[in-house]
Amino acid sequence: MNNCTSFKPSIDNNSKVLILGSMPGVKSLEVQQYYAHPQNRFWKVIGVICDEPSISEYSYDLKLKILLKNNIALWDTIKTCKRDGSLDFNIQDETPNDIKGLLKKYPNIKTICLNGNKSYSAFKKYFPDLLEKYNCHKMPSTSPANARYNLDNLINEWSKFLLS
């Protein structure tokens, strides 16, 4: 089992939407970048929604700046865990990030999009009161392991809450 630790949030005072993943995968942890696996569709979805179709080719810093320019913050529900590989199914001994503290510090956030089942279940487990207080949405995972959704379906579902 590998010890995994999530990254610092990408957020500013203008952020209105918070996207929460579960825990970065092996490739992301290796290079210290959210959604770094080339088959993860997160940046492709964001590129279409933010009218930046080539975002996948941009530097990581520029990707984060585009999110912030569109009032979108990024973090993870889980702060630390043990896991072999990248699959959320293998997450054990998790501890949550301080989501409540973040939301208190950034009061403009009104919508929380939870990227996949594990992010949602951990959020629900550790922050059930926030489900009532915020506009929370369980989103289909952008992971390549989520074969039920093709890119067009993901864009359609994600745009409902990121463009509102």
Catalytic site positions = 40
H helix intervals, the chain: 26-31, 42-49, 60-69, 99-105, 117-126, 128-133, 151-162
Minimal CA–CA distance to 109: which of 75, 159, 148, 83?
75
Neighbour order of strands in the sheet with 72-76: 72-76, 17-21, 111-115, 135-139
Minimal CA–CA distance to 136: which of 110, 159, 160, 154?
110
Contact 111, 139 (CB under 8 A): no
- What is the C-alpha separation between 85 and 5, in angstroms, rounded? 14
Angle subtended by helix axes 151-162 and 42-49, to nearest 10: 50
